[in-house]
Structure 1
Amino acid sequence: MGKHFGNLTKIRHVVTYSISPFEQRAFPNFFSKGIPNVWRRMTTSFFKVAPPMILMYTTYTWGNNVHEQGKKKNVDDFENDE
């Protein structure tokens, strides 16, 4: 009843290879190459990412403190009220 989805057309001069999922290794060289590569990438990008994040965090905390102080009432304004 027609062709299946993966075989709708035939492309000439294109060769594809595949390996069975049962023959693949899930984590090849994970500990010997993967973790050092992650460490190298983190250390090289740290000085590009950390300063803006620190600046944004300090700005955020400063803004929250100013907002909280703005919500408080000044006690000296109400000391003569009865």
Structure 2
Amino acid sequence: MPPKVPPYIRGQIEYFTSPYEQRFFGDIFDAKLMMTKFRRHMKHVRDFAPGVIIFAAVYTWGNSTHERLSREHRY
């Protein structure tokens, strides 16, 4: 049975590059690219920051409460 051909979508262009033609870490230290990545990450900080802050607060509170209660209830 031949492999299925993906459907043709008008207006969509696909490009393929062989793994032998790619440089895996070719632009990891490119200053312009690093600034672009930093800007894109900072754009989404407001989406995940409240969850991280709440998690850190609950985790700290839980650890301190556990330590306090374990000191009080020693046998």
Q: One fold, TM greater than 0.5?
A: yes
Once the two structures are superposed, the pairs formed by residues 31-70 of structure 1 within 5 Å of their partners are: 31=30, 33-70=32-69
Query: Could you tell me the percent identity over the aligned residues?
Result: 25
Q: CA deviation at 1:30?
A: 5.8
Unpaired runs of 5+ residues, structure 1, are: 1-8, 10-16, 75-82
Question: Against the structure 1 CA distance between its residues 61 and 32, is the aligned structure 2 distance closer, same or farther, given a 3 Å change threshold?
Answer: closer
Question: Which residue of 2 is the match for residue 79 of structure 1?
Answer: none
CA spacing shift, 1:28–1:71, aligned 2, 3 Å = closer
Question: What is the TM-score of this pair, normalised by structure 2?
Answer: 0.56
- How many residue pairs match? The answer is 61
Kindly name which structure, 1 or 2, has the bigger radius of gyration based on alpha carbons. Answer: 1
Unaligned ranges ≥5, structure 2: 3-15
- Output the TM-score relative to the length of structure 1: 0.52
